[in-house]
Amino acid sequence: MLQTFKDIIDILSVPTISFTFLTVAFPFIFPPSDWFEKVHRKLGIWRLWTKPGFYGGMIAITGFFVIGYFDPNFHITLTKADNFPIVLMVYSMFITIWWSMYQAYENDARLEKGLKPMEYNDPDDKVLVWPDLVYIEFIALILFMVFLIVWSILVAAPLEEPANPASTPNPSKAPWYFLGLQEMLVYFDPWIAGIVFPMFIIIGMMAIPYMDVNKKGDGYYSFKERRIGMFIFMYGWLVLWLFLIVIGTFFRGPNWNFFGPFEFWDPHKVVPLNNVNLSEYVWVKLLGQGMPANILLRESIGFLALVGYMGFLPILLAKTWLKNYFQEIGPVRYTFLMMFGLSMLALPIKMYMRWLFNLKYIIAIPEWFFNI
């Protein structure tokens, strides 16, 4: 019985399935439009952000870790000292997101009735920092320090064998907070996954207040007033960052192969990874001829695809689907929003192209170290 359950979890957690499930389910969890909202209400997904939803989520997460703890294979990954922060991360992120959504739904209901959000107080009715805030800070400090000391006593900081430049441990992982990046490296070349995307993440995040022209929802928990912005951010944060960290930590084993949580980490697991470039697909498989000698001609299809995606798609959207939105925020904001948004979307797109067609690069010019 338990074994069947574990097998099912192993199959479900394969990125192709779990990532697809999350992506499809996401607009129903954080509904960005009225239609999704209706389904969200009808299917009762909103109950996730009520108290029973909290208990349910906590029981599910804890159950997973408890079963994992007693599973001989998952035990090894789970009890690694360096993986403890990820367990903390899973819990704290669930609790905080639940807590903010719980308050957001309460505020949404209040706003619908024409009331002020519950954070609102009479501006003249202020409290003194000493003692009201200073004591809270003091208690939080002490509790946190106690937690940190207990953690430090119980778990020794990991120290592996002395550095040996000749033998790479298998698997070899980046610090956990960079595992999202390491997961991207499977799908993109280092200069994109390691340089361009991180830059875009940093600059794109800094640009959020300038791209988000929605003035509502400033200074209190709310969802409905800013659901589109919330949806985009939460998809990037939860699925494209935190979920990839969880995958990288728990599900990536020797040779960076995927292993289900309850699967044995077999270093000889063979996964065929014969990847083909777009230019090879077009010239060799489709047209049945050799690759052209001219590099730019060879990769012209890829360049066309890139220009179409980053250049023409935004223009097309501005004229059709996003017409009103384009007029609202103006060309400069729109250009930046599209640049960051489409780059973010490029990650799942490339992941699916890899999974479905074994596509390696859209543009492959190793001669110039220019691969996309």
Using CB under 8 A, which residues numbered 219 to 248 contact other proteins? Answer: 219-222, 226, 233, 237
Residue with Cβ nearer other proteins (70 or 130)? 130
Using CA atoms of 177, 183, 185, 187 in order, give the dihedral in degrees to the nearest 10.
-150
- Report whether 179 contacts 248 (CB < 8 A): yes
- Report whether 14 contacts 260 (CB < 8 A): yes
String of contacts with other proteins for each residue 346-365, x by CB under 8 A: ---------------x--x-
Question: Quick one: tokens of 313?
Answer: 């798609």
Closest CB 9 distance from other proteins, rounded Å = 23
Query: Is residue 105 near other proteins by the rule CB under 8 A?
Result: no
Task: With H, G, I as helix, E, B as strand and everything else as coil, classify residue 53.
Answer: helix
| Amino acid (one-letter) located at 126 | K
Closest CB 261 distance from other proteins, rounded Å = 19
| Residue 99: other Cβ atoms inside 10 A | 13
| Amino acid (one-letter) located at 53 | G
Residue with Cβ nearer other proteins (89 or 301)? 89
Closest CB 164 distance from other proteins, rounded Å = 6
Residue with Cβ nearer other proteins (71 or 236)? 236
Query: Is residue 332 near other proteins by the rule CB under 8 A?
Result: no
| C-beta contacts of 153-161 below 8 A and 24+ residues apart | 155/81, 155/84, 156/81, 157/81, 158/80, 158/81, 158/82
Closest CB 52 distance from other proteins, rounded Å = 19
Closest CB 270 distance from other proteins, rounded Å = 7
Report the Cα 41 to chain-centroid distance in Å.
25
Closest CB 213 distance from other proteins, rounded Å = 9
Question: Quick one: tokens of 99?
Answer: 């807590």
Closest CB 174 distance from other proteins, rounded Å = 5
| Residue 189: other Cβ atoms inside 10 A | 19
Per CB under 8 A, which of residues 145..164 are in contact with other proteins? 145, 148-149, 151-153, 155-164
| Amino acid (one-letter) located at 12 | L
Per CB under 8 A, which of residues 269..328 are in contact with other proteins? 270-275
Residue with Cβ nearer other proteins (44 or 190)? 190
Per CB under 8 A, which of residues 179..218 are in contact with other proteins? 182, 185-191, 193-196, 202, 205-206, 208-210, 212, 214-218
- Report whether 307 contacts 314 (CB < 8 A): no
Q: Identify which range of 3-11, 32-40, 85-93, 279-287 contacts other proteins by CB under 8 A.
A: 85-93
Query: Is residue 129 near other proteins by the rule CB under 8 A?
Result: yes
CA separation for the pair 99, 96 (Å, rounded): 5
Q: Give the number of residues in contact with other proteins, rule: CB under 8 A.
A: 114
Query: Is residue 257 near other proteins by the rule CB under 8 A?
Result: yes
Query: Is residue 116 near other proteins by the rule CB under 8 A?
Result: yes
Residue with Cβ nearer other proteins (7 or 358)? 358
Task: With H, G, I as helix, E, B as strand and everything else as coil, classify residue 359.
Answer: strand
- For the chain, state the CA radius of gyration: 24
Query: Is residue 50 near other proteins by the rule CB under 8 A?
Result: no
Closest CB 121 distance from other proteins, rounded Å = 4
Residue with Cβ nearer other proteins (24 or 206)? 206
Closest CB 207 distance from other proteins, rounded Å = 8
Helix (H) or strand (E) holding 364: strand 364-365
CA separation for the pair 1, 256 (Å, rounded): 30
Residue with Cβ nearer other proteins (6 or 350)? 350
Report the Cα 316 to chain-centroid distance in Å.
27
